């Protein structure tokens, strides 16, 4: 009886193997949920056959395993192609984070602790399959064209994504990357034995997003591919925020993989790869910030060239110079765009180096300027006052007090004595021009010593005229005969029979014989 059962099982498996081999091309191109059901059915069938006949069914398992590896490879390639295609068509404008995207995000965040229920549906073959599971294209976009889904950029407020109370205003590329992560994690949940192979494809997917973002934004590839005229500060800010969003997801993905991978040296190496990817994302963000600082430093250099052509002593109908108006407008635009898309700490980290560059370049240019007349001095102060008026020192994105004070408000040439005396008695310009903000750098109040407290002893003021010159003058007034060369350390002078020997602070008297 057992032989008959074994033969029946072998015949059944041979027939199933023939069917599976014929339908290999269709099977490996299924959606992840459908393929997991296909894999689970074959696995249950092989286990039941082994339980009945005691034979392992090697041929059936080999066919299924080869199809699994082919499916994983095709899934990785298709996900990368869809990501590259979507990023090339992206206009890098803010897009609404929809409710379906919020569901995907919550699943990924939940995956660090436990497997979401939605990722286990493919393994529950006893439940009837619902076509709604495939309503969203899990291995690609959700059927929306990037250009039609970016209508949110014209709205006043865009719905952001949220991770642990931190909000992210994202472009379409970041949302597309989020959608592409879920199929890999769903497949790891259904087939834990292949976690290492799937994780390698997942790391390649994350690296592709970073490298493609570099090519399109920092490399200005979006101007040729997507049709953008220029790479603006808005595009750089959104790219930085997209990188920050994906970098914030990496620790959750890493913990999810750690729960499913087999422990050992390979698992430790895999965790190190995820940490390395996150560091690469953070370095990319720093490069974008440096690029913004470099752009504004170039704008300051252009303004300085225009400023050097100005003759300050000549009268002008224009109250504020054109170069300072342009620089102020561009700086205000940068601050407004960054404040709209980036958190306050990131904005401050970008604006401080920008103003430090202004201080270094403009300060040197102002010190080199030549101003002789009073009208020229007044015109000289106006540009700094105009800039500090738009960026007061009590705001986060302002000149620090040292920046405005580094730009001199007086002529480099020596002023007359009366002007110098007046300057020493009162400040030469208002506090918003010199950068002396009352709220931050108040003048120190001089306190009178109390009667009970002893005043410190007065130090004797050193006379600017050497003592030997004073003595010589007194002796000349008295009509005494003074020999030439008095006051040197190695010479002796005779006065009324007295020999004076002088040195540095040493005086001795000797009676002449």
Statement to judge: residues 59 and 159 lie in one domain: yes
Statement to judge: residues 118 and 25 lie in one domain: yes
CB 104 within 8 A of CB 253: no
Statement to judge: residues 227 and 152 lie in one domain: yes
Q: Mean pLDDT: which of 45-54, 261-270, 382-391 is highest?
A: 261-270
Look at residue 497 and tell me if it is in a domain: no
Q: Which helix (H) or strand (E) holds 500?
A: strand 498-502
Look at residue 242 and tell me if it is in a domain: yes
Range of the domain at 104: 2-261
Q: Is pLDDT of 202 > 70?
A: yes
Beta bridge partners of 509: 500
CB 386 within 8 A of CB 320: yes
Statement to judge: residues 255 and 299 lie in one domain: no
Statement to judge: residues 7 and 136 lie in one domain: yes
Look at residue 9 and tell me if it is in a domain: yes
Distance, first Cα to last Cα, the chain: 151
Q: What percent of the chain has pLDDT over 90?
A: 39
Q: Is pLDDT of 129 > 50?
A: yes
Residue 181: its pLDDT value, please? 94
Statement to judge: residues 219 and 104 lie in one domain: yes
CA-closest candidate to residue 406, choices 361, 371, 446: 361
CB burial of residue 248 (10 Å; 0-12, 13-18, 19+): middle
CA-closest candidate to residue 347, choices 400, 398, 301, 279: 398
Long-range contacts, stretch 405-410, CB < 8 angstroms, 24+ apart: 405/434, 405/435, 405/436, 406/359, 406/363, 407/359, 407/362, 407/363, 407/366, 408/366, 408/367, 409/377, 409/380, 409/381, 409/384, 409/433, 409/434, 410/371, 410/377
Statement to judge: residues 182 and 241 lie in one domain: yes
Q: Where are the beta strands (DSSP E) in 42-196?
A: 161-163, 166-168
Statement to judge: residues 299 and 253 lie in one domain: no
CB 407 within 8 A of CB 384: yes
Residue 122: its pLDDT value, please? 84
Look at residue 469 and tell me if it is in a domain: no
What is the band of 427 on the pLDDT scale with cuts at 50, 70, 90? very low
CB 438 within 8 A of CB 431: yes
Statement to judge: residues 148 and 191 lie in one domain: yes
CA–CA separation, 153 and 167 (whole Å): 17
Residue scoring higher pLDDT (190 or 483): 190
Residue scoring higher pLDDT (399 or 129): 129
CA–CA separation, 215 and 235 (whole Å): 13
Look at residue 195 and tell me if it is in a domain: yes
Q: Is pLDDT of 66 > 80?
A: yes
Look at residue 479 and tell me if it is in a domain: no
Question: What pLDDT digit, counting tens, does each position of 205-251 carry?
Answer: 999 999 999 999 999 888 888 888 889 999 999 999 999 999 999 99
How is residue 167 annotated by DSSP?
A: E
Statement to judge: residues 301 and 360 lie in one domain: yes
CA–CA separation, 288 and 291 (whole Å): 5
Question: What is the pTM assigned to this prediction?
Answer: 0.71
Last residue of some domain: 434, 461, 485? 434
Last residue of some domain: 434, 468, 493? 434
Q: Is pLDDT of 73 > 90?
A: yes
**Count of domains in the chain?**
2
Look at residue 278 and tell me if it is in a domain: no
Look at residue 463 and tell me if it is in a domain: no
CA–CA separation, 241 and 340 (whole Å): 11
Statement to judge: residues 332 and 411 lie in one domain: yes
Statement to judge: residues 64 and 204 lie in one domain: yes
Instruction: Measure CA 221 to chain center.
Output: 21
Helix (H, G, I), strand (E, B) or coil at 337: helix
């Amino acid at each position: 009886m057992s032989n008959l059962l074994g033969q029946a099982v072998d015949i059944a498996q041979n027939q199933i193997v023939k069917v599976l081999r014929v339908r290999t091309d269709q099977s490996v191109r299924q959606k992840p949920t459908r393929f997991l059901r296909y894999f689970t059915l074959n696995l249950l069938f092989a286990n039941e056959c082994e339980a009945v006949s005691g034979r392992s069914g090697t041929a059936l398992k080999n066919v299924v395993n080869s199809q699994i590896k082919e499916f994983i490879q095709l899934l990785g390639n298709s996900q990368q192609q869809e990501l590259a295609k979507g990023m090339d068509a992206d206009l890098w404008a803010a897009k609404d984070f929809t409710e379906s995207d919020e569901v995907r995000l919550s699943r990924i965040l939940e995956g660090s602790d436990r497997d979401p229920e939605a990722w286990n549906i493919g393994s529950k073959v006893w439940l009837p399959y619902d076509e709604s599971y495939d309503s969203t294209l899990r291995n690609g976009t959700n059927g929306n064209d990037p250009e039609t889904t970016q209508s949110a950029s014209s709205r006043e407020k865009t719905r952001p994504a949220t991770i642990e109370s931190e909000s992210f205003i994202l472009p379409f590329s970041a949302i597309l990357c989020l959608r592409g992560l879920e199929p890999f994690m769903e497949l790891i949940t259904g087939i834990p034995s292949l976690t290492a192979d799937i994780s390698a494809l997942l790391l390649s997917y994350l690296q592709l997003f970073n490298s493609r973002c570099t090519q399109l934004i920092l490399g200005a590839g979006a101007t040729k591919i997507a049709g953008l005229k220029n790479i603006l500060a808005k595009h750089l800010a959104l790219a930085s925020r997209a990188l920050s969003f994906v970098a914030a997801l990496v620790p959750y993905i890493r913990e999810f993989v750690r729960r499913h991978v087999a422990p050992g040296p390979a698992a430790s190496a895999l965790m190190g790869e995820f940490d390395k990817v996150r560091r690469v994302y953070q370095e990319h963000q720093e490069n974008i910030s440096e690029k913004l600082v470099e752009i504004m430093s170039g704008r300051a250099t252009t303004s300085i060239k225009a400023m050097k052509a100005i003759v300050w002593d000549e009268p002008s109908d224009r109250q504020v110079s054109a170069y300072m108006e342009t620089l102020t407008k561009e700086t205000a635009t940068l601050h407004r765009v960054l404040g709209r898309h980036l958190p306050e700490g990131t904005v401050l980290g970008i604006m401080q180096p920008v103003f430090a560059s202004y201080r270094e370049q403009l300060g040197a240019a102002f010190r080199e300027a030549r101003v002789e007349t009073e009208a020229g001095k007044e015109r000289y102060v106006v540009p700094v006052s105009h800039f500090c008026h738009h960026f007061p020192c009590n705001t986060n994105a302002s000149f620090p007090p040292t920046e405005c004070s580094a730009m001199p408000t007086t002529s480099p040439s020596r002023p007359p004595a009366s002007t110098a005396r007046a300057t020493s008695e009162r400040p030469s310009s208002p506090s918003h021009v010199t950068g002396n903000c009352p709220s931050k750098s108040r003048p120190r109040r001089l306190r009178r010593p109390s009667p009970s407290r002893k005043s410190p002893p007065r130090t004797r003021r050193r006379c600017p005229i050497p003592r030997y010159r004073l003595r010589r003058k007194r002796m000349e007034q008295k009509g005494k005969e003074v020999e030439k060369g008095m006051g040197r350390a190695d010479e002796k002078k005779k006065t009324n029979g007295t020999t004076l020997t002088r040195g540095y602070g040493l005086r001795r008297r000797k009676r002449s014989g």
